[in-house]
A and B are shown apart, each in its own frame.
Chain A
């Protein structure tokens, strides 16, 4: 295993892999738990991928590296609106979904494959964002309502 800068998180959600996959990729759903943002992609290997901010800016951009619907998604991901994060280049995000009875185990890893071991501003930034986003995603799928703090983009 590399000792590259990385973030890892595991969360169990009472839903189906198909519903979780849709919640991770459908713009109308991501807006509810991911700060009003949505993702644009044709969702095939090699396709462009980006996260859009409600004011029209591109937050992050990259490419779909691997895609297996309802099971696995890997994208390259570079920040496009914070220069100090942009400067670190492309990260790699992996979702893995595993149905286990009436719940799905979602494993999220976000790493910097091209950076040397050590601190990463990008990983620090996403490490503070993912837990809230994933908690809100779980709430949305299980209760129908996302967490209020995650619903809107905060102007920084």
Chain B
């Protein structure tokens, strides 16, 4: 994940929020429950299976 230091400087509440993995995990959980397929995290290799 990336953040934009000019908009969300390190140490700010927003930066911490965006840098954490929770938004991605929770988004993937929601997709999994609703569609049967989770989401591919950007740090996974291209062949990673999450479904």
Contact = CB atoms under 8 A, between A and B. Distances in A.
Do chains A and B stick together as partners? yes
Interface in B5-40: 7-9, 11-15, 17-18, 23-24, 27-28, 30-31, 34-35, 37, 39-40
A1 B14 contact: yes
Interface string A101-142: 111010101000000000000000000000000010011001
Interface residues of B, number: 25
Interface residues of A, number: 24
Contact of B23 (A1, A10, A142): A10
Contacts of A9: 23
Contacts of B31: 14, 138, 142
A142 B18 contact: no
A143 interface: yes
A8 B34 CA distance: 24
B18 A138 contact: no
Mostly, the A contact residues are: strand
A138 B30 contact: yes
Interface of B: 1-2, 4, 7-9, 11-15, 17-18, 23-24, 27-28, 30-31, 34-35, 37, 39-40, 42
Interface of A: 1, 6, 8-14, 94, 96, 98, 100-103, 105, 107, 109, 135, 138-139, 142-143
